[in-house]
Amino acid sequence: MSKKNKKSTQRNRHAFDLQREKLDVVKKQLKVQKKDKKQTASPAKPKKKLKGIRIRKGARVKGIKIVDAASKKKAMEALAAEQELRRMEVESTAGWEEGDPSDLEDME
């Protein structure tokens, strides 16, 4: 019988595995507590300022060919206007539900 298959070796290995699992659980709990403590102690992180859309020279956006800073600005304004319209549409349809009685009163 090989050494690794002996009953005593298996028993010891099993006991060691259980002990290691208990230690891992304790370490994980300490780590979670430390993380929670760190989050509550520190102030909220400021939001990152996102970079705008990157438009390369020679691209065509909304029928405007980008050749210089002026055309790029014009294209960015067109994109911003379209995005604003889309956002306004979403806001206007967000509260409306089909069959809402208040809408029927307005129509009369």
pLDDT digits (tens, 9 = 90+) for 65-87: 999 999 999 999 999 999 999 99
The mean pLDDT of 31-46, rounded to a whole number, is 85
pLDDT of 42 over the 80 cut: no
pLDDT of residue 106: 52
Mean of the pLDDT values across residues 44-63?
Answer: 86
Contact 79, 62 (CB under 8 A): yes
Residue 33's Cβ-count burial label (10 Å; 0-12, 13-18, 19+) is: exposed
* The pLDDT of residue 14: 95
- pLDDT of 19 reads 97
Distance CA 17, CA 59 (A): 61
Sequence-distant (6+) residues with CB within 8 A of 65 are 58, 59, 71
Neighbours of 6 (CB within 10 A): 11
pLDDT for 31: 96
Residue 15 has pLDDT above 90, yes or no: yes
How is residue 60 annotated by DSSP? E
